[in-house]
Structure 1
Amino acid sequence: MAERNQLALPNEDGGAGEPPLVPARVESAPGPRWTLDSRVKDVLLDGVPPPDKVMSLRQCLKRVGCDERVANDNIKMDVVIQEPEQFIPDEHTRSRVLSLPECQTYALVYKVVPLLEGKGIAGLRQWGDANNASVKNELRDALADDGLWNKTRGLLDNAFNAVNDAEERERRREEERIESGIKQVTLVEGLYNSVMDATWAYVKSGDTNGPLGMGVCEGNVSEKVIGPEMLWEEKEVNFFNTPDNEVDEQRDRDDGIEIFVLSSRMGWPYMVYSGDEQASTTLPKEFYCGVFVRREVVRVWYIVKKYLDVMHGEATGKTTHRLTLIGSPGIGKSFSVGAFLLYMLLRYDANRLHIVAWFIGDVVYVFLKNEQPGKVLKFDYQKAAERYIEERVKTGSRVYVIYDVGKKGASPDSNWRLNWPGILITSPNKSNYKGWSNADGTGTVYINCHHVREIKAIHVWMERFAQPNPTVSEVEDSWTELSDRIDVVGPMIRYVLFAGNYGVREQEVERELVELNDDMMKLYEKVFDKKDTWRESKSSHKIVKLVRVHYEGRLENYRNKGVSDKVYKKLSRMVIERKETEGRLQQLLEVVVSNYGRDSAHLFETFMVCLFLQKELFKQVPRDLVKLRESEGMELLECDSVVCRNGGAELYPKELAFIDKGDNRKLKCGVLYVPRDSCFPVLDAFFVVEGEPRTVVALQATFAKQHHTTVSKVVLLKEDLAECFCNWNIFTDGLRWEMIYVQPAGGNTIKTKQLCRNAKATEEATLTFWKSVQQYQVSLKPASYSGAQEAAHVTELTQAFGEVEIEKKIKKDKQMARRKSW
């Protein structure tokens, strides 16, 4: 709010510790910029500071030269003005104070604002409403005796007219910009045909002679031209990860196709190729021209096409004319999804769809399908493009919009071009799509990150252009580096494919994990407890990724999970540490066991080693433990694990400790040691049991049917343990080793001893050691673990009904259980 321009009188500082009555004059200070949302109270103050912020009675008395002290002279004038006789008994002094311009303004505000607001006029928008004419007449009559009506009407009318004048000037300027933008439109020669005539290729797995077992096919295959007719069918791409199984799925196809590559000679609107751009980058031209079409991208097209068909009467069913596509940042949504949709929309029935417009930041590409030949217009000012399209729509043209907020980072408002169907492409940041999604009839589609096999196929394709005639070994060696990047930053091609991007992202991920505060840790605890799905905006997309899920009978939805195995395990270990400190670890373990690990493979593999810390859960392990045989045909072996001996149930470790290389700590019996490093080799945790001999019980939680290891990992294990413990070499003399594979019941089961592979002649000692390790397997059955059944029931009911129904159901089940026990 601009303040009144008035010189402060000398010594008008209002006393010690109080602000001056009126601030010093600011030359050429701009007047207030009113809007239709400005409050009438602010307008009527006319630049005077609000009385409750600055003015005190003491200041006003000094202002009129009154030296006489009065009671409560430090009270603010917003209170004094309501009952001036009470605070200023002397009539002469009171008259002088109330005659001050500021006090006259406060009296006006005190009298008028409640009347206005009582009639529903709180801001300039309501004041200017023509329907309020009768209300203004009532106000005029109410203020007639005090002579306040003229000033009230003058101030509010002036402010309202100023807003209208400013809006009119801005409207004229905007009109000039639009007209200028339409006149300066660029015709992009050749781009329409370049997109329509884009060529197809694909990368498939199963090629025994190709790098990474993959081969590239271009042109014709078996006398059949590669084209959109070869794309996956809808049923092949329209599957979901369920909320109870977050393992990334990748459906196989008989012909082994992993990705298609769609290449436009001039590139695509998101990245139009030109000689100047090529000269300024080390990227090959093919990077601009080719987009990677994967299953998730094709799925989006089937959804768009279905809605288009319904809109135009070809199909029946419930539909929406707008969609919001949401996916993790850095997975190629703008480039691959936008480009593929453009290609397919241009091929859609030209009698039903005439214009395709791609909004990218402030730039808009308008593809005119019903021109002969097709044209592409490039607008550098968005509203100019909107005006051009709107004029076409008025004459009967039908438009479809691809609105990409990736570069602009802002969603159109909910009233934006409601008669235009389209799809908005965005990250999960709600501010990017809030306006668009709030419009009636807008549906939401979620897109998963790349599968590792898809990134591998992209790598094989790109290596053909990164260097001339790369050998199989060169491609495979460079893939090893990319695979390591995926382990750190996840399957985000923006960071995996380009070394510069990866280096920055790696540092961001590490920093994010190091700087996690208590609020963020509480959030992740909720996730692991199944009370939350990482949907808060506080979740950083540096350490989480979006996974599309589906509840039966409901629309598709999403949840977030750790962006990579390394990040997920790091987060979960931090949660374990926190929960153990607070004594709440058993609660989490019961939930994980109770669902057979279905809640999350990562969740099970990370947390279940901690089952050995809980006596009530641990005591069931000896009953379910199975000793692994050399082969399945052999006779079952008697279980001789140290935990199966008499009193074995009392051997559970009583303490949890996280270890790092370089700790140089003292190794003790009865402690469950969990490596903080998610890449620690061979085992997830271990503890040592006292006896003759001492026994190391190593634990490995896994969903897999096999969990073999290698000689190099076993060697690294021994080296890492020696760095963790100062007495490792002394302590390990004569140690007996056991390995227990912990698995959920009802899933894959390890049935034979796991091998130690890749042994060289010089590594016989390591191989001999591994053969001496006694191996066991345990399947965790929820019915056998105390407290687990109720936890499973609660999780199941939560997804289906909600908290009220859960409480009713649990109460009923407990009553039934008591009756049975009678």
Structure 2
Amino acid sequence: MNGGQKMDATAIVTNCPEENDVRAMCIWMKRNWPLQEQAEYWREVRGRMNNVGPILRSIFGKQACDDRIKACQQAVGGSTASELERNLGIGCCYSSNDSDLSRKLARVVRVRRGNSIESPLNLLVSPHLEREILSRLEDEMKQSDFIFFVLRFWDYAPPYLIGKCAASAFLNEDLLRAIRIKLKELRPPGRREPHRCTERALRHELHQKEVLPPPERLSNPVAMDHWVLYEPKVQNFPLVDGFFFVDSNPKTLVWLRMATAGGYRTRASTVRQFTECLAAYFNGWEELSRDMSWEIIYVQHADSTPMNGWQRCDVVNPNNVSDDESREIAAFWKEEVRQYQVSVSYRGFRGDEALRSEEEPSK
């Protein structure tokens, strides 16, 4: 074969080994060691995987791992944020990018998209490098660009990043505009009439964010404000990532939820827990909520399996919720809570493109 020519070849994408695979390798390689020494060896290997990723040639020896992490950190330090974002292709379908950055800092995983067909997806290679690179991008990119960047791989983003970005994303004008353009109502069986209050509400800018502490740390309930994005700083806060009140007639409470590919399961006990938190946060909640309109927006990545149907409220009866109360909450959810879904993506909803889409007259 002529050395100056390349034959066309089919790219073969192979998964990196999972943690359980590597652990099995360790057990086999050190099967004759005492159990305590086996356990210590596994802790060392797992620590190296955290630093450099599941790269077999770099995790079984200290020197190989040190050399690899040094090369990776030099690659990060020698690149600008725009170079990292462009060349790594994080959150995009795999392409044969032969850049030095991609070889050192990215890995490929197989995911199932909306059509249930597997496709390869680029992600960062290790938790350690993930934190370092994402922190660098967050510091150097515009907030709106970083939010849309994270939306590329929202279903695979680390939990700390989801918690940090979820509510703040809704303060971004570009994202709100994108949501408004693509908003789709999810109606329960039997409901035919459309309801567009949320679309009108999103035309008003949310002008500030108010962080809410855990209810037990709040000395006194506060007054409710309109057009303020409330972000609960509570671990495992029920139901939503954030919410705001609309000065309409009747008043409207809009819940915001970043949803994963699998959707979000709602239970009667979770709805009750959420309303109990609101009663603890706001003065006169019982009277305020009496004639209130309730709406929830599920925001998903465009490549995720979309929520095409109405999300029901499961009647699950823990000890603190009676059968009758669970059924009452489920009925409230079906009759009173309007649901919307929107799929957003980095490529489709950059600010200028979203603005053009909104301004162009429909044909």
TM range (shorter): 0.5 to 0.7
In the TM superposition, what are the counterparts of 1:383-402 in structure 2 within 5 Å?
A: none
1:732 alignment partner in structure 2: 289
How far is the alpha carbon of 1:683 from its aligned partner? 1.3
Please list the CA deviations of residues 32-62 of structure 1 after superposition, one character each: whole Å capped at 9, or x if unmatched.
Answer: xxxxxxxxxxxxxxxxxxxxxxxxxxxxxxx
Q: Displacement, 1:697?
A: 0.5
User: Which residue of 2 is the match for residue 348 of structure 1?
Assistant: none
1:779–1:435: structure 2 CA closer, same or farther, 3 Å change rule?
Answer: closer
1:297 maps onto 2:23 in alignment: yes
Retained in 2: the 8 A contact 1:596–1:781? no
Q: 1:543 is matched with which residue?
A: none
Counterpart of 1:607 in structure 2 is: 165
Tell me if structure 1 keeps the 8 A contact 2:187–2:338. no
Q: Give the residue type in structure 1 aligned to 2:127.
A: R
Select the residue among 305, 318, 326 that pairs with 1:748: 305
Q: Give the aligned residue type for 1:341.
A: M
The reply on whether 1:658 has 2:217 as its aligned counterpart is no
- Alpha carbons 2:185, 2:339 under 8 Å: kept: yes
In 2, distance between residues paired with 1:680 and 1:654?
Answer: 23
Q: Which amino acid counterpart does residue 297 of structure 2 have in structure 1?
A: I
Match of 1:774 in 2: 338
Question: Alpha-carbon deviation of 1:766?
Answer: 1.9
User: 1:626 aligns to what?
Assistant: 184
Distance 1:763 1:729, change over 3 A: same
1:786 to 336, 342, 350: 350
* Count of aligned pairs between the two proteins: 273
Pairwise CA RMSD: 4.7
Whether the aligned pair in 2 keeps the contact of 1:722 and 1:728 (CA below 8 Å) is: yes
Matches within 5 A, 1:53-452: 239-240=15-16, 294-298=20-24, 300=25, 337-338=26-27, 340-343=28-31, 404=40, 425=45, 427-428=47-48, 437-438=62-63
Q: After the TM superposition, which residues 565-644 of structure 1 pair with which residues of structure 2 at under 5 Å, given as runs? A: 585-593=143-151, 595=152, 597=154, 600=157, 602=159, 603=161, 607-631=165-189, 639-644=194-199
Shift of 1:756: 1.3
* 1:689-731 deviation digits (Å, cap 9, x = unpaired): 0010010000111113332311111111111111122332232
Q: Measured at CA, do residues 561 and 712 of structure 1 come closer, stay the same or move farther in structure 2, by a change above 3 Å?
A: farther
TM-score w.r.t. length of structure 1? 0.29
Residues 342 and 769 of structure 1, relative CA distance in 2, 3 Å threshold: same
Residue deviations 1:764-783 (CA, integer Å, cap 9, x gap): 43223212101110111334
Equivalence for 1:711: 268
1:559 to 105, 112, 127: 127
Alpha-carbon distance between aligned partners in 1 of 2:325 and 2:64, rounded to the nearest angstrom: 70
2:230 aligned partner: 673
Percent identical: 21
Quick check: 1:681–1:713 contact (8 Å CA) kept in 2?
yes
Distance 1:740 1:601, change over 3 A: farther
| Higher RCO structure (Cα 8 Å, ≥6 apart) | 2
Quote the offset at 1:736 in angstroms: 0.2
Amino acid at match of 2:274: L
CA distance in 1, matches of 2:282, 2:305: 35
Distance 2:34 2:328 in 1: 64
2:258·2:298 contact (CA, 8 Å) conserved in 1?
Answer: yes
Gaps of 5+ in 1: 1-237, 242-248, 251-293, 301-336, 344-355, 362-401, 408-423, 445-525, 534-547, 564-571, 790-822
Report the 3-state secondary structure (helix = DSSP H, G, I; strand = E; otherwise coil) of the residue aligned with 2:275: helix
Q: 1:611 and 1:439 mapped to 2: Cα distance?
A: 40
- SS of the equivalent of 2:184 reads strand
What TM-score, normalized by structure 2, do the two folds share? 0.60
- Give secondary structure in 1 for the equivalent of 2:342: strand
Shift of 1:757: 1.4
